[in-house]
Chain A
């Protein structure tokens, strides 16, 4: 209870001195956010769990070197993004997730799980849209995806994203512009056409 009241800096100091309870409190505070970023970037729950745990393990080992110049959240986000990029490169997961069969199964699963709904066609459209959204996200470069996910799904200010990725604000802005433009192109049938099913 006491730990949850301490601010990040205090928890880091204590954890650095070997206090596992303090580190656990930090994990409790950030695990959902770290996991969510990893999930947004990889699109896979197993990878997200592995990566988020790797991040906390690495954070624990790096506590003596954490200078506190950036906030704990920025530090953890930075490690998460880097870990996702590393994993993506190692696994070449885009190649391992063919755009056909696996995703179609997911759609089928999605539709079946909603079979009690009265508007199956409407649901199918929504499921297909979900697939297209994921594909559009996967179609971005790793850095574009990281910038977009941090800004759009995690509402991080541009300044903090710049700190996370060790780039300038201007780079974040131009990367985000490119990312959104590319998403617009990939989703153009929806953007330009009928999207009543979103209602």
Chain B
């Protein structure tokens, strides 16, 4: 004897006559023995009959002739716009969001290194970020390790989020996104975030801790996607990435990779006085 829920699962196919002989026979047999399901089926079938009497005006041939002309005109205009190098929708003033983030990060990076070079006389190429972290007396080994781990965490999160941010659900196939794998990576990153938030205890690491916290929320959203094809949820994640500007903040953190207690981007000051 079929449970009513099983029959409900077959209802849609039964309504559209998509059930094969055996399943149809089972379905019909259940309706004979269950008045509730029989009534539901009749009412749903009635609703479908009603929806079928809908009248909708079809455009005439003149409309279609004009339609092609209008589309051609738009295609031409679109192509002209694409060929024009700048002064388009994504112009110097309105670039693509990813370009904006990249450009801002590049400018900040250049500004900071030039600033240090000019004001402190420090030669940026002589001191890579790793050297700065490991300078004795400026950061202890434990914090250095945490920083390394945070940077690795941010790097992995950035790669994952970039794949999502560049995905266009309107045109790209969901399979290219490989959401199952993204979910697994997100889960592992979320677990790591719990440790990192605790480890980033120094007040000077507050911004980094906040970034890890914001990332954790976004990664949690990805890890909790119920359906690997749930593109609405993907769009939500994309919005979260944009709203929180996490990609930009990750870039900033790379630029600003300094030991606890040292300066931050927002509050720059000469940090390597010994070298001057």
Secondary structure at the B interface, as helix, strand, loop or mixed, is: helix
**Chain A, 14-54, CB within 8 A of any chain B CB:** 20, 23-24, 27-28, 31-32, 35, 39-40, 45, 49, 53
Question: Does B48 sit at the interface, judged by CB under 8 A?
Answer: yes
Question: Does B175 sit at the interface, judged by CB under 8 A?
Answer: yes
- Shortest C-beta distance, A182 to chain B (Å), equals 9
**Partner-binding segment picked from B53-61, B121-129, B240-248, B256-264:** B53-61
Given A53-B71, A173-B12, check contact A191 B173 (CB 8 Å): no
Flag B61-103 by CB within 8 Å of A: 1 or 0 each: 0001001101110110010000000000000000000000000
Flag A140-153 by CB within 8 Å of B: 1 or 0 each: 00010000100111
- Shortest C-beta distance, A157 to chain B (Å), equals 8
Q: How far is the CA of A132 from the CA of B264 in the complex (A)?
A: 62
Question: Does B36 sit at the interface, judged by CB under 8 A?
Answer: no
- Report yes or no: B78 in contact with A57, Cβ–Cβ below 8 A: yes
Cβ–Cβ < 8 Å partners of A181 in chain B: 40, 44
Interface centre among B8, B12, B15 (most CB of A within 10 A): B12
Cross-chain contact of B59 among A45, A78, A83, A136 (Cβ < 8 A): A45
- Selected A-B contacts with CB under 8 Å, 10 pairs: A70-B173, A86-B170, A137-B51, A158-B12, A166-B231, A168-B227, A173-B9, A180-B48, A181-B40, A187-B47
Question: Does B18 sit at the interface, judged by CB under 8 A?
Answer: yes
Q: How far is the CA of A70 from the CA of B46 in the complex (A)?
A: 34
- Report yes or no: B47 in contact with A166, Cβ–Cβ below 8 A: no
Given A57-B75, A79-B170, check contact A31 B64 (CB 8 Å): yes
Cross-chain contact of A130 among B11, B55, B64, B74 (Cβ < 8 A): B55
Cross-chain contact of A173 among B13, B50, B72 (Cβ < 8 A): B13
**Chain B, 191-247, CB within 8 A of any chain A CB:** 227, 229-232
- Shortest C-beta distance, B196 to chain A (Å), equals 33
Q: How far is the CA of A24 from the CA of B46 in the complex (A)?
A: 41
Q: How far is the CA of A41 from the CA of B273 in the complex (A)?
A: 66
Q: Which 6 A-B pairs have the closest CB atoms?
A: A184-B47, A166-B229, A191-B46, A62-B171, A166-B174, A82-B170
Cβ–Cβ < 8 Å partners of B48 in chain A: 152, 180, 183
Question: How many residues of B are in contact with the other chain, CB < 8 A?
Answer: 45
Cβ–Cβ < 8 Å partners of B55 in chain A: 130
Question: Does A117 sit at the interface, judged by CB under 8 A?
Answer: no
Question: Does B52 sit at the interface, judged by CB under 8 A?
Answer: yes
Q: How far is the CA of A179 from the CA of B70 in the complex (A)?
A: 35
Question: Does B130 sit at the interface, judged by CB under 8 A?
Answer: no
Q: Which residue of A lies closest to B73 (CB)?
A: A53
Question: Does B140 sit at the interface, judged by CB under 8 A?
Answer: no
Flag B1-42 by CB within 8 Å of A: 1 or 0 each: 000000011011101101000000000000000000000100
Q: How far is the CA of A190 from the CA of B53 in the complex (A)?
A: 12
Cross-chain contact of A180 among B44, B64, B71 (Cβ < 8 A): B44
Q: How far is the CA of A60 from the CA of B8 in the complex (A)?
A: 42
**Chain A, 155-199, CB within 8 A of any chain B CB:** 157-158, 165-168, 171, 173, 176-177, 180-181, 183-184, 187-188, 190-192, 195, 198
Question: Does A90 sit at the interface, judged by CB under 8 A?
Answer: no
Given A53-B74, A168-B227, A177-B8, check contact A35 B59 (CB 8 Å): yes
- Shortest C-beta distance, B212 to chain A (Å), equals 31
Q: How far is the CA of A168 from the CA of B226 in the complex (A)?
A: 12
Cross-chain contact of B71 among A27, A157, A166 (Cβ < 8 A): A27
Q: How far is the CA of A60 from the CA of B71 in the complex (A)?
A: 11
Cβ–Cβ < 8 Å partners of B171 in chain A: 58, 62, 65-66, 79
Flag B156-194 by CB within 8 Å of A: 1 or 0 each: 000000000000011111110000000000000000000
- Report yes or no: B74 in contact with A198, Cβ–Cβ below 8 A: no
Q: Which residue of B lies closest to A130 (CB)?
A: B55
- Report yes or no: B50 in contact with A129, Cβ–Cβ below 8 A: yes
- Shortest C-beta distance, A145 to chain B (Å), equals 11
Cross-chain contact of B50 among A24, A39, A67, A187 (Cβ < 8 A): A187
**Chain A, 87-140, CB within 8 A of any chain B CB:** 126, 129-130, 133-134, 136-137
Q: Which residue of B lies closest to A175 (CB)?
A: B12
Question: Does B43 sit at the interface, judged by CB under 8 A?
Answer: yes
- Shortest C-beta distance, A199 to chain B (Å), equals 10
